[in-house]
Amino acid sequence: MTPAERGTWSWESGFGNIELDWQVERARRLPWLPGTALVWATPLQNGQLHPLSPEGVLSRQAAGLVGRGLVPMVGLECEFVLVEGSERDAERSGWRPRPAGLGNLDYALDLQGNVAAFLRELRRVLAEAGLPIEALKLEGAPGQVEVTFPFGPVERACEQHLLLKTAAKAVAERHGMSALFMAAPFTGTGSGLHLHLSLHRLDGGASMFTPRGGEELLSETGRQAVAGLLDVLPVTGPLWAPTVNSYRRLARDHGFAPRRATWGWDNRSCAVRVVGHGSGRRLEVRVPGADANPYLALAAALAGVRHGIAGGLVPPEPARGDSYQDAKAWRLPHDLASAVREFETDPAVAEQFGVQVIAHLAALARLELDHHAPLVSAAEVARGFAQS
């Protein structure tokens, strides 16, 4: 929310208005905000979907697959962390909030009272809003929650995720807590936004990734999609890891967040995990963090899939064990600055997204970097006391 000096929306451009196409038929009552309804609107430019809107970026990637007779389907699996108190309480603590829970309660049944009440109310209000969830549970880090939505069209998945975020924040506040959708809210804690992705023919049917005959893990289309993802994910960091904090989640081995562009069967150390049985074979793209814009993260994934299928690419051998130790695999970007450099210069990115989108997203990333550049962290001060 920092006004920029140059770019599409800036002092240089005069901060002009954006035309919106209001879609009242998609209005949705929000049970967590009594007396309130949300109406979706599509940003336009010259009467067409605005090319720089996240919806527009995703729409073009999906359309490229539809042009090949393929329809992408996705289910989003999101993690976030509940912390005690409000944002004002966190500010008073020097931005050191406490998790609303102790220890690893992954799949636990004995939940603390306020956390259990939060989960019950969140499930209820989402169902009342027409957003039934597939699964809702606590995760491995203190105060961490995981929500999984049913499989469906990519646009619906993004809408579900945005509504989840508003619901979680409102319900948490009523229970004396806050919901943090940061990729790394605490040292050693990472929250992801995993994309469970498959392709289907226009007339429906089973996943195009389902192996046939002697194929072991994936069909030929699935293997091409994996190869494209392994090529494109490392150079599209600003789409799936848009903040400085995003890369804290990717900074350590064995943190259940990938560090290298690898793939394998039911392997949580990989960036792309092949899962599902029979007609439900799919790819779990594990690189985005909880702070990712779902439209842009999905756009990056679909760009990789398109790239692999169009080029008939062949992936490396799947990882059979700990892929954190695979020194031959391409490293994912380790910070936002290096991610932007790769994003701006890679030819595959230029082919898939075009100059205008690349320049816009790179400018947003640099605003984020400029914001953080002069800030001194508590960790720097602690290190300075000991070593300076």
The answer for residues whose C-beta is within 8 angstroms of residue 375's C-beta and 6 or more apart is none
CA distance 33 to 167: 8
Cβ(302)–Cβ(283) below 8 Å: no
Cβ(193)–Cβ(294) below 8 Å: yes
Average pLDDT score over residue span 91-119: 85
Sign of the four-CA dihedral 15, 4, 184, 115: negative
Q: What is the pTM of this model?
A: 0.94
CA distance 82 to 284: 25
Token representation of residue 97: 């909030």
Cβ(30)–Cβ(39) below 8 Å: no
- Percentage of the chain beyond pLDDT 70 is 99
Residue 257 CB coordination number (10 Å):
24
Nearest to 255 by CA among 230, 289, 223, 222: 289
How confident is the model over 270-328, as pLDDT tens digits?
999 999 988 889 999 999 999 999 999 999 999 999 999 999 999 999 998 999 988 88
Q: How confident is the model at residue 215 (pLDDT cuts 50, 70, 90)?
A: low
Task: State the distance between the two ends of the chain, measured CA to CA, in whole angstroms.
Answer: 35
Answer whether residue 192 shows pLDDT above 80.
yes
Token representation of residue 324: 């954190």
Nearest to 56 by CA among 40, 72, 74, 44: 44
What pLDDT was estimated at residue 364?
92
What pLDDT was estimated at residue 220?
94
Answer whether residue 52 shows pLDDT above 90.
yes
Cβ(81)–Cβ(180) below 8 Å: yes
How confident is the model over 325-360, as pLDDT tens digits?
888 888 999 999 999 999 999 999 999 999 999 999
Q: Which of 28-42, 70-84, 109-123, 362-376 has the lowest mean pLDDT?
A: 109-123
Answer whether residue 161 shows pLDDT above 90.
yes
Answer whether residue 213 shows pLDDT above 80.
no
Answer whether residue 82 shows pLDDT above 70.
yes
